[in-house]
Amino acid sequence: MGKNKRVFLLWAACFGALLAVSAGAEFSFYLIDNFESGQAGKWYRFGGLETTVERNPSSEADSQDTIAESCGDFALKLKSRAAHWFAGGIGTDIYADASSFSRFQMDIFGSGAGGKIKIEVFDDDNDNYSLEQDPSKNWLATKDDKWVAEVPILGKGFTRVSIPFSALKLENPVSGDGLWNPDHKNGSGGLLKVQFVLLTDRETGEVEAGIDNILLTY
Ligand SMILES: [Ca+2]
Ligand SMILES: [Ca+2]
Ligand SMILES: [Ca+2]
């Protein structure tokens, strides 16, 4: 093989690697948390909800449960007691430009005892990287859109939940602009934060669930 051909092959290999990297960046996902750090310090809690990072049951060597396998070593356990169906929640700040993603995905571990998780996401509409809320009106978001979806806690085991952004419902009309626009245009903080609220099937009672592999994807 002549020298020129070797140089060309090397160049082609480098260019191919570069293409693969840029394609990977374009077609990957935005990980919010998979709890493999063993920590949950970036999540705040409200309404009496208790959280613990727990070790996942080790999957059998011949297990066909690819979702359970993808949950790795740790997941976050949520546990609470409800009053009037509300059992508290958790949330974390994100500030991501989510405009190129199309759906929200997470794995939910259920015990078969029922309950729901209400997913709440906020996009910044007054371009200030902050969520304005009114504590006297049940923490109503006053300047930014709040989008929600409810998913059942199934089980036993992990269930993968995938929610297209188009299925999210606006909960606070006339506060923000009413458009799903979680981008960084004009200094907007984009997707400001995500919250998960636990709901029970009966007015009072205990509810628990595990969550893992929380991400934005295409
Ligand atoms: Ca995990
Ligand atoms: Ca704002
Ligand atoms: Ca908006």
The secondary structure of 57-121 as a DSSP string is PPPPTT---HHHHHT-SEEEEEEEEEBTTEEEEEEEEEEE--TT--EEEEEEEE-SS--EEEEEE
CATH number of 31-217: 2.60.120.430
The tens place of each residue's pLDDT in the chain, 218 residues long, gives: 455 555 555 555 545 555 544 554 555 899 999 999 999 999 999 999 999 999 987 766 566 788 999 999 999 999 999 999 999 999 999 999 999 999 999 999 998 889 999 999 999 999 999 999 999 999 999 999 999 999 999 989 999 999 999 999 999 999 999 999 999 999 999 999 999 999 999 999 999 999 999 999 99
Ligand 2 centroid, distance to 145 Cα (angstroms): 9
Measured in Å, residue 181 CA sits from the centre of ligand 3 at 5
- Cα–Cα distance measured from residue 92 to residue 37, given in angstroms and rounded to the nearest whole number: 16
What are the residue ranges spanned by the domains of the chain? Answer: 31-217
Inter-residue contact 106 to 213 (CB < 8 Å): yes
The pair of structure tokens assigned to 196 is 């998960």
> pTM for this one?
0.86
Burial class of residue 30 in the structure, from the number of CB atoms within 10 Å of its CB (0-12 exposed, 13-18 middle, 19+ buried): middle
Q: How many A from CA of 95 to the centre of ligand 3?
A: 13
Residue 179's beta-bridge partner residues? none
What spacing in Å lies between the alpha carbon of 191 and ligand 2's midpoint? 10
Strand-pair category, 205-217 with 30-33: antiparallel
Ligand 2 centroid to Cα of residue 123, in Å, is 8
Q: Which two tokens stand for residue 133?
A: 């809320």
Could you give the CA distance from residue 185 to residue 72 in angstroms, rounded to a whole number? 36
